[in-house]
Amino acid sequence: MSRKKNVLNDKDRESSCSATSTVVTYKIPIKAEATMIGHFIEYSIVDGELILKFATKKPDEPPAFYIEKFESSRQLSFE
Protein backbone atom coordinates (compact mmCIF):
# COMPACT_ATOMS: atom_id res chain seq x y z
CA MET A 1 0.00 0.00 0.00
CA SER A 2 1.46 3.37 -0.98
CA ARG A 3 1.54 6.24 1.47
CA LYS A 4 -0.68 9.26 0.99
CA LYS A 5 0.98 12.61 0.26
CA ASN A 6 1.54 14.85 3.28
CA VAL A 7 -0.62 17.91 2.55
CA LEU A 8 0.29 19.71 5.82
CA ASN A 9 3.84 19.90 7.12
CA ASP A 10 4.36 22.80 9.52
CA LYS A 11 7.86 22.64 11.01
CA ASP A 12 7.47 26.06 12.73
CA ARG A 13 4.50 25.02 14.91
CA GLU A 14 5.03 25.86 18.58
CA SER A 15 3.75 23.39 21.14
CA SER A 16 3.86 23.07 24.91
CA CYS A 17 3.76 20.34 27.53
CA SER A 18 2.79 20.36 31.20
CA ALA A 19 2.51 17.58 33.74
CA THR A 20 1.05 16.87 37.17
CA SER A 21 1.33 13.66 39.16
CA THR A 22 -1.66 12.24 37.27
CA VAL A 23 -1.88 13.99 33.87
CA VAL A 24 0.45 14.94 31.02
CA THR A 25 -0.97 17.64 28.73
CA TYR A 26 0.34 18.56 25.29
CA LYS A 27 -0.95 21.72 23.61
CA ILE A 28 -0.46 21.95 19.87
CA PRO A 29 -1.85 24.89 17.89
CA ILE A 30 -4.37 23.87 15.27
CA LYS A 31 -3.86 25.67 11.98
CA ALA A 32 -4.94 24.76 8.43
CA GLU A 33 -5.84 21.21 9.48
CA ALA A 34 -8.68 22.43 11.74
CA THR A 35 -11.23 21.87 8.98
CA MET A 36 -9.91 18.35 8.32
CA ILE A 37 -9.70 16.78 11.81
CA GLY A 38 -12.18 13.94 12.23
CA HIS A 39 -12.38 11.21 14.86
CA PHE A 40 -9.33 10.10 16.86
CA ILE A 41 -7.85 6.85 15.58
CA GLU A 42 -4.75 6.00 17.62
CA TYR A 43 -1.53 7.17 19.19
CA SER A 44 1.95 5.71 19.13
CA ILE A 45 5.43 6.61 20.32
CA VAL A 46 8.15 6.14 17.70
CA ASP A 47 11.79 7.14 18.24
CA GLY A 48 10.81 9.43 21.12
CA GLU A 49 8.02 11.18 19.17
CA LEU A 50 4.34 11.09 20.14
CA ILE A 51 2.24 10.45 17.04
CA LEU A 52 -1.51 11.15 17.15
CA LYS A 53 -3.67 10.02 14.24
CA PHE A 54 -7.05 11.43 13.32
CA ALA A 55 -9.26 10.49 10.39
CA THR A 56 -10.02 13.28 7.95
CA LYS A 57 -13.64 14.37 8.13
CA LYS A 58 -16.14 15.06 5.42
CA PRO A 59 -16.43 18.75 4.46
CA ASP A 60 -20.02 19.04 5.77
CA GLU A 61 -19.26 17.61 9.23
CA PRO A 62 -18.44 19.88 12.19
CA PRO A 63 -14.87 19.72 13.60
CA ALA A 64 -15.03 17.11 16.35
CA PHE A 65 -13.36 14.00 17.65
CA TYR A 66 -14.61 11.03 19.60
CA ILE A 67 -13.04 9.62 22.75
CA GLU A 68 -13.39 5.91 22.13
CA LYS A 69 -11.95 4.49 25.34
CA PHE A 70 -15.08 5.31 27.35
CA GLU A 71 -17.89 2.75 27.59
CA SER A 72 -19.95 4.98 25.31
CA SER A 73 -18.47 7.39 22.78
CA ARG A 74 -18.42 11.08 23.69
CA GLN A 75 -18.15 13.95 21.29
CA LEU A 76 -16.20 17.15 21.90
CA SER A 77 -16.91 19.95 19.44
CA PHE A 78 -14.73 22.94 18.66
CA GLU A 79 -16.76 26.06 17.95
pLDDT of the residue at 45: 92
pLDDT of the residue at 47: 95
Alpha carbon 68 to its chain's center: 13
Residues contacting 49, CB < 8 A, separation 6+: none
User: Average pLDDT for residues 50-67, to the nearest whole number?
Assistant: 75
Average pLDDT across the chain, whole number = 77
User: Average pLDDT for residues 22-37, to the nearest whole number?
Assistant: 85
